[in-house]
Every structure is written in structure tokens, then in C-alpha cells.
Amino acid sequence: MFFEGSEKKAEIQINANKLSLLNDFDDKFWSALVAHSRAKILSSIRNKHCKAYLLSESSLFVWHDRLLILTCGQTQLVNAIEFFIQKVGVDKIEQLTYQRKNEYFAHEQPSCFGDDVKILNKYMQGKAYRFGEMDSHHNYIFHQDNHFIADKADKTYELLAYQISDHASKKLTTPHLSREDIRAFLALDTLLPDFIIDDFVFQPYGYSLNAINQHHYLTIHVTPQADSSYVSFESNLNLLELAPKILAILKPASFDLLSFNEFTFQQKIAANIPSEYVSKSLVNKQLSNGYEVCFANFIRPQHQFTTPAQLTITGENHAL
């Protein structure tokens, strides 16, 4: 069974003098928003800064002055964003960024990044980039181009792991795993001390986690099936520093790092990325919204021959 783990992601910052996303909108509003992307809310946790919704396809985080939403599979996140813009008003939006990772099964997606940007362009001017080569891992980023300049302290990180080890894939596709089993395998007690955790084990496999602690958040989404495995981490914790622990557990054949406003990216990867990996792509740019964006894709060179995947052609294209 194949599943498109790669997420679409949007972050919207609003004018907190005009409204509070946390106080002025109820669960019904967020349910409706999420439904526009064809996902639904499974559960939520909150602290005084943030409410974190676990979705049927990934996650939504709401703070007073911003929201972050990630959706995977065949969801249409841009439709949820259009719903937000129409309901809240583009005049309340200080800054919007929209991202999309290249997909395993691009031909199965209901839209491509260009289609999505055309919808956003109905409401705002923006710039669009591709970080990474066309024939390799890459991340599309659209951002609103206006007066907004990001706070340099506003840092976020993504670690996206592909083709995790056979051991990790087998472990994470074991039938009837509990959330405690998966938390233990991912060593979350060391990654996330003192966090409030909300997690869900999908059937027959798959795992999602939201975690919050004061102003910190982390979300993890696991698509563990061999051959198209994908594990994503998104956080304002420094995932470059946590990378050695994560990589030691998952042992991916390939992974991406993406950061916003990490100004010592190069030094951090030199210090933290195991020498068995080589950098396929290194891309950075200071966007006109003030964010310094860095993207890197690493691969582990292969020295032994393996056998090809034998394919079963079924009624579903997913099998390819």
C-alpha cells in the first residue's frame, strides 16, 4: 500500500491587533477550514499560547497571531487557505507562505504547485521559488510580497527523511503497534521532555504526533511502508542539532533539511550530519519577507548492488 506522505504546508501570520486566531475562532471554524482541504480533525491539545489539532492528514497549529497547517496525501491545502482568506479577510493577513515538497506520485495529485499559486495570486502578490533541482528533491516556496519583514528570532526547521532503514520500516509497520511502542522507538522522551503530546496510530500503519511546550512545537508524521517511506519533522526546536539522534534511529537513504532564519546552517550541518551522507543540494536565499531560507538534500552513496522492486500492476495506480 502506497501513500503520499509529502506535505503541503502553509503559515499565515495575522495582525494580532485586529484579532486573535486562538480566541476569536472556535473549533467549528477550524473543522470547516480543514474540511476544505479534504482532511478532518482527529483530536487536539492546547496550552495558553497554542492549540494543536491532529488531522486525518497531518496537523494544524493555531497561535494568537499565526497558524501553521500541513496536509499530506491527496489533500488540497490551497482550498483551505482560500477559505481562510475569504473568511478572515486578506487585510488581516500580514504574511502568507505556502510550500510544497516534490511528491512521490505527482501524477496522482489533484493540482500542482503552479495551480495552487494561481489561486493564491487571486488574493495577493507573491514570489515563488524552487529550492533544489528539478530532477532531485526540491521544495517549492511561495510567499506574499508586501511590507512584512520577519523577526530574525522566528526560526523553524524541517527534517524530511526518505527510504528509512529496513529495520525502521519493519518496526513501524508491525501490526497492532501502540503509540507507546512508537514513542519508544522514536526515543521521544529524549527529544521531547516536558511536552504535551497528542499522537495517533493509523491502521494498518502510519503515525502522527503533535507536541507543544510553552512556545515550542514539534510535529512528526510517519509513512513507514518500505519503498515509499517518509518521516517528516517540523518544529521550532533546532532540528539540525537533533538530526544526529533522528538519523541514528531512522537511517534514511536520503533526507532534506529546511530552515527559516537559521543563520549558522552551514556550520550546523558540518557539525551534525554524519559523514556517511553527502550533500546533493545546498540552496539558500534571503527572501524579501526577511526569512533566510536554507535547503539541503543529503544522500547516502550506495556501494552494493540491490535488486529492483518487482511491481504488481493493480487497478490502482498507487502501486507504482
User: CB-based contacts of 203: which residues, under 8 Å, 6+ apart?
Assistant: none
Provide the binding-site residues for its own copies, judged by CB under 8 A.
Answer: 104-107, 109, 112-115, 117-118, 121, 127-137, 140-141, 162-163, 227-228, 253-254, 266, 278-285, 293-295, 299, 301-311, 313-314, 316-317, 319-320
Nearer to its own copies, 193 or 301 (CB): 301
**Dihedral pair phi/psi, residue 275, rounded to 5°:** -70, -10
**Dihedral pair phi/psi, residue 259, rounded to 5°:** -140, 150
Q: Which residues are paired to 217 by β-bridges?
A: 212
Nearer to its own copies, 34 or 294 (CB): 294
> At residue 38, what is the residue type?
R
**Dihedral pair phi/psi, residue 131, rounded to 5°:** -95, 115
* Rounded least distance, CB 129 to its own copies, Å: 4
| C-alpha cell at position 90 | 486578506
* Rounded least distance, CB 23 to its own copies, Å: 35
DSSP 8-state code for residue 103:
P
- DSSP letter string over 23-80? HH--HHHHHHHHHHTT--EEEEEE-SSEEEEEETTEEEEEESSEEEEEE-TT--HHHH
Nearer to its own copies, 209 or 293 (CB): 293
Nearer to its own copies, 42 or 282 (CB): 282
- Helix (H) or strand (E) holding 179, with range, is helix 179-185
Cβ atoms of 221 and 208 within 8 Å: the answer is yes
* Rounded least distance, CB 16 to its own copies, Å: 30
Nearer to its own copies, 17 or 302 (CB): 302
Nearer to its own copies, 182 or 294 (CB): 294
Nearer to its own copies, 210 or 261 (CB): 261
* Rounded least distance, CB 149 to its own copies, Å: 19
* Rounded least distance, CB 198 to its own copies, Å: 28
* Rounded least distance, CB 81 to its own copies, Å: 16
A 10 A CB-CB count for 83 gives: 17
* Rounded least distance, CB 96 to its own copies, Å: 15
C-alpha torsion 219→225→110→106, nearest 10: 110
HSE-up of residue 3 (Cα within 13 Å, Cβ side)? 25
